[in-house]
Amino acid sequence: MEAHLAQFNIATLRHPMDHPETAGFVALLDDVNAAAEASPGFVWRHGIDSRDVDDTAYADPLTLVNASVWETPQHLRDYVYKGIHLDTFRRRAEWFESSAQVMWWIPAGTTPTLEECQGRLAFLQEFGSTPFAFRTPGSLPQLVIRRHELEDPAVQGLLGRLNEELLA
């Protein structure tokens, strides 16, 4: 099964988006996002400004989230550590108090939900790097999990077998 790399990061701004101290970051957002979308290997992104995603997920207006999908880890690395993103990345301490990131493999052609992103980050923070959720791809084996509806006959069959084994 072909897989793509999903990444999610969450950061807390030092000041609100409309504060003069954050103006430099805000001025770069469109260019940074455009650079991502034009990068080789880019597949999809949620958006950097939390206004682009479900605002109810994080009540704090200083919390910004970003989720994206890339064809390979190298494509993501090339974007993050070259060009305008690198310049912005180097200045992150000016604008952000804290941040956290998680990566994981997803089936090609799918995109993560915000809830999935939050779950992977929580898993990483509790258990550390595993094939399910990690900080950097590398020596861990590739684990790809495809989502299925609970009503799917294959899922129902698996649940039946698990119940038999667990209750036996």
Domain boundaries, the chain: 3-167
Q: Which pLDDT does position 138 carry in this prediction?
A: 80
pLDDT interval class at 152 (50, 70, 90): confident
- pLDDT above 60 (res 21): yes
Q: What is the pTM of this model?
A: 0.81
Between 54 and 78, the more confident residue is 78
pLDDT for the residue 55: 44
What pLDDT band is residue 145 in, cutting at 50, 70 and 90?
Answer: confident
Mean pLDDT for 93-118 is 94
Give the mean pLDDT of 103-122: 94
Query: Is pLDDT of 141 > 90?
Result: no
Instruction: Among 3.90.1150.10, 3.40.50.620, 3.30.70.100, 3.40.630.30, name the CATH number for the domain at 3-167.
Output: 3.30.70.100
What's the pLDDT score for residue 51? 41
Residues 35-74: pLDDT tens digits? Answer: 999 999 999 998 644 444 444 456 788 999 999 999 999 9
**Band of the pLDDT at 80, cuts 50, 70, 90?**
very high
Neighbours of 134 (CB within 10 A): 21
Report the alpha-carbon distance of residue 69 to residue 104 in Å, rounded: 10
Residues forming beta bridges with residue 13, ordered by sequence position:
96
